[in-house]
Amino acid sequence: MLSDCLGLSPEGHLTIGGCDTPELAVRYGTPLYVVDETLLRKNCADYVRSIADYFDGNGQVLFACKALCCKEVLRVAADEGVAFDCCSSGEIYTAIAAGVAAEKIFFHGNNKTKDEISYAVAVGVGCFMIDNLQELQNINEEAKKQEKTVKAILRIKPGIDAHTHEFIKTGQIDSKFGFALETGEAMAATEAALQWEHIALCGVHCHIGSQIFDAAPFVLAAERLMDFMIEARERFGVSMTMLDLGGGYGIRYTEDDHHLPYTQYLEGVAQAVKAKARQHDFAVPSILIEPGRSIPGAAGITLYEVGTVKHIPHIRDYVIVDGGMVDNPRYIMYGAKYTVVCANKAGEPATETVTVAGRCCESGDLIQEHTKLQPVSGGDILAVLSTGAYNYSMSSNYNRMPRPPMVMTKNGAARVIVRGETIEELCRNDI
C-alpha cells in the first residue's frame, strides 16, 4: 500500500486507520476528507526523534501548518512536541485556539500586513521570520510601540536548485521569498537587522523547495547558511544561534515516489553542521526544520462518489465524481500526480485507464488524467490517496460548493474534526 495507514479489508475494501472507507462514505457523506491520527503522530514523532538523535534535542520541529490547518490536527501535532510555522494571522489564531503556546509559533510570510504584525507582537509569537527590509522596519516600529523586543530570523535564498516542480521551487534568486545570498543582499539585511533596537536577530532560514527525496540539497543548504553565519560573526560580531532549514521533505503520491525515512534526512546535515562548527570554533546552532506536506500528506485521503462515467470513443473515459478542483486544486494548478483507487473494489485489478473529473464548471477541473483504475460506474466510491496536505487548506467555494467535512481515524474508530460547510453558511457574509 502507498501509505502505512491504508489497508485492505477481507471484503476487498480500502481501509484507513482500520476503518472501512465505503462505510465512512455512507456515514459521513462524500466528498469526505479523512486523516489518520496514528500516522500523523508517527510522522511528527519521527522528526522530533531525528532532532533528538542528531542534535541532542537542540532544535525544534515546526509543522508548516499551511499544509493542513485545523484545530484538531494542530492539537495532535502539539501533543507530539511539535511547534508551528504560521503564515497569516488566521493560522496563528487557529494555533492559539487549539491551545498552542504563542512562543511555539514562528511567523512566516512575505508580506505580513501591519495588522498581522501588531497581532503577532501582542500575542507574543516566538519568532518573526523576516522576508524583506520594509518588514524589518514595520516589525521594529510595532515592537517599540508595544514596548517589546522580538526575536527574528532572516529568510535567505541560498541559491540551491532542489529537484522539484518549477512552480514550487523557492530556493533560487528568482523567487519572491527572502534575501539573496549571492548578491550580498542577505549580508546587507543582517547589518540592517542589527541596527533595529527592538529586533533580536537569532538566526537564518531557507526553504529550498518541495517534494525533495534526497538529503544532499539540505546538506548543501546547511553548509551555505553555516558559512553565512560564520562570515556575519566576522563582519559584525553577531553570534546567531538558530539555523532553520525549512521544509520540503517528499511524500509518496504514487508507487514511483521513494523518500528517505523522516528519521534520516538530518543525518548528513548534522555531520556537515558539526564539521563547520568545529572548523570555525562556532557553537552548533539550534536546528529548526519545517516539514509541511510530509506530516499529514500520506495520512490523508479524499473519498468521492462516482456520479457517472462518460465514454468518448477513441478519446478517453471520464469518471465524474461529486467533488473536484474545489476540494483538491492541485491538479489544475500544477498537474500534481495522485493514485486513485475504487474504495469498494480495492482488491480488484486496476484494468482501466481513465480521467477522473470533478463537477465544477471548468474544463480543467480534473483530479487525475490517464490513470489506472478498477472498472467503475455510478455509485462506486473513489479514494484519492495522499491528499492530507494542501487539499483542504487550498480548497475553495467555487460554484458556491460547500467545503466537505474532515474525519480523523484511529485504530478502527472515526470522529469528525471539521464539520462540513452548509449552503446557508456560504451566504453568511452576503449583505
Ligand X SMILES: Cc1ncc(COP(=O)(O)O)c(C=O)c1O
Query: Which sequence positions are flagged as catalytic?
Result: 361
Angle at 196 between CA 225 and CA 135, to 5 degrees: 70
Q: For 49-80, b where at least 16 C-beta lie within 10 A, e where not — what string?
A: bbbeebbeeebbbbbbbbbbbbbbbbebbbeb
Closest to ligand X by CB, 36 or 85 = 85
CB within 8 Å of 15: residues ≥ 6 apart: 6, 7, 8, 9, 21
Diameter over CA atoms, the chain:
72
Q: Which residue has the cell 529586533?
A: 199
- Pairwise CA distance, residues 390 & 411, whole Å: 25
Beta bridge partners of 409: 36, 414
Neighbouring CB atoms inside 10 A of 45's CB total: 16
Under rule CB under 6 A, residue 43 binds ligand X: no
Shortest approach of ligand X to residue 85 CB, angstroms? 5
Angle at 230 between CA 228 and CA 234, to 5 degrees: 115
Closest to ligand X by CB, 196 or 249 = 249
Closest to ligand X by CB, 295 or 320 = 295
Closest to ligand X by CB, 247 or 405 = 247
Under rule CB under 6 A, residue 210 binds ligand X: yes
Closest to ligand X by CB, 248 or 405 = 248
Under rule CB under 6 A, residue 37 binds ligand X: no
Number of helices and strands (H, E) in the chain?
Answer: 11, 21
CA neighbor of 129 nearest in space, from 185, 63, 178, 69? 178
According to CB under 6 A, which one of 292, 323, 329, 388 is a site residue for ligand X?
292
Specify the length of the chain in residues.
431
Report whether 218 contacts 247 (CB < 8 A): no
| Interface stretch with ligand X, choices 39-47, 132-140, 192-200, 286-294 (CB under 6 A) | 286-294
Report whether 177 contacts 154 (CB < 8 A): no
Under rule CB under 6 A, residue 290 binds ligand X: yes
- Taking residues 99 to 118 in sequence order and writing x for each that binds ligand X by CB under 6 A, - otherwise, the string is ---------x----------
Under rule CB under 6 A, residue 85 binds ligand X: yes
Under rule CB under 6 A, residue 388 binds ligand X: no
Closest to ligand X by CB, 249 or 331 = 249
Show contacts with ligand X in window 336-355 (CB under 6 A).
none
Under rule CB under 6 A, residue 217 binds ligand X: no
Q: Is the peptide bond before 31 cis (omega within 30 degrees of 0)?
A: yes
| Interface stretch with ligand X, choices 269-277, 291-299, 319-327, 364-372 (CB under 6 A) | 291-299
- Can you spell out the DSSP letters for 138-207? HHHHHHHHTT--EEEEEEEE-----SS-GGG--SSSSSSSSEESTTSHHHHHHHHHHH-TTEEEEEEE--
Beta bridge partners of 60: 288
Under rule CB under 6 A, residue 55 binds ligand X: no
Shortest approach of ligand X to residue 413 CB, angstroms? 28
Shortest approach of ligand X to residue 398 CB, angstroms? 22
According to CB under 6 A, which one of 50, 294, 391, 395 is a site residue for ligand X?
294
- Taking residues 226 to 255 in sequence order and writing x for each that binds ligand X by CB under 6 A, - otherwise, the string is --------------------xxxx------
Report whether 306 contacts 382 (CB < 8 A): yes
Shortest approach of ligand X to residue 18 CB, angstroms? 27
Under rule CB under 6 A, residue 323 binds ligand X: no
Shortest approach of ligand X to residue 294 CB, angstroms? 6
Shortest approach of ligand X to residue 250 CB, angstroms? 8
Closest to ligand X by CB, 207 or 403 = 207
In the complex, the residues that contact ligand X under the rule CB under 6 A are 64, 67, 85, 108, 207, 210, 246-249, 290-294
